[in-house]
Amino acid sequence: MTLSTATNPALREILTLSSAQRPCAVPRRALLASAGAWLAAAAWSPAALAAADPWSRSGASVDAQRLVRWASASANHQGMAFAVIDKPAATIHVFGPGGGYAGSAPVLLGSALGDRSAPGIGQKPLSQIRPHERTTPAGRFVSEPGSNLQGHDIVWIDYDAAVSLHRVRGAPAERRVQRLASPVLAERRISNGCVNSPAEFYNRCVAPWFGREAGVVYVLPDSEPFATFFPAADAAYPLANLPS
């Protein structure tokens, strides 16, 4: 099912996305990197991880690694493409339906810290959204392809809360493209709650899967404990078992 912003009167970010979308092709190495190859490296040693898959060399945070290993080992993503949005690192990691690593990129997030959407936020006009309500919610979401009022494609993370993943855009004064390149994580907190990715990355790694059918999006918390949102992953891959 494709969802349109035309049916949501209070879309938090009505975005004018570029209509110039290049043909999307996931890198060949990502398609060849099967889940089985890196799940064979069951130990948490850096050598085992590096030998298993390019994902192990992505520089991902420990919590992102734990979540990806659990999601693949348990098949929690149910054979769908999945993404991990690491809010503390302001980064997205994308995987294909078979668990192969497609790539990572910086993202822009909600300007306010917090892991819950304010009640009724999806029905509020932008002008009525208060600063502390501009959060990107944490948790597991089944995404849906959609479109904005201009007919450009976006990916709904949480339709009811009007939270989507889309190509970066914005007023020049907001310097969103420059913020994506900034190493200062606070610079990447600018949106009303939606997730902005580089356009090239969206075209190459997001649109081919999430833009065509449902996927799973895991959003790591920035305020509450990891275990609050992902207790099974925390139990399966506890921090105590990680090498020092």
Alpha-helix residue ranges (DSSP H) falling in the chain: 28-32, 35-39, 46-52, 62-73, 176-181, 199-201, 207-210, 226-229, 231-236
24-72: per-residue pLDDT in tens?
434 444 433 433 433 333 444 555 544 556 887 889 999 999 999 999 9
d(CA 30, CA 102): 5
67 in Cβ contact with 84 (< 8 Å): yes
For 23, the 3-state DSSP assignment is coil
Predicted local confidence at residue 164, as pLDDT: 96
Predicted local confidence at residue 3, as pLDDT: 53
161-206: per-residue pLDDT in tens?
999 999 998 788 899 999 999 999 999 999 999 999 999 999 999 9
Q: Is the pTM of this model over 0.85?
A: no
Q: What is the mean pLDDT of residues 11-23?
A: 37
Q: What is the mean pLDDT of residues 67-92?
A: 98
Confidence of residue 117 (pLDDT cuts 50, 70, 90): very high
110 in Cβ contact with 46 (< 8 Å): no
Strands (E) located in the chain: 3-4, 82-86, 91-95, 101-106, 109-110, 139-147, 153-158, 163-167, 189-191, 195-197, 215-220
Predicted local confidence at residue 179, as pLDDT: 95
Candidate from 11-15, 94-98, 142-146 with smallest mean pLDDT: 11-15
124-152: per-residue pLDDT in tens?
888 889 999 999 999 999 999 999 877 88
Predicted local confidence at residue 169, as pLDDT: 84
Confidence of residue 224 (pLDDT cuts 50, 70, 90): very high
Domain ranges of the chain: 3-14+22-238
Kindly state which CATH superfamily the domain 3-14+22-238 is placed in: L,D-transpeptidase catalytic domain-like (2.40.440.10)
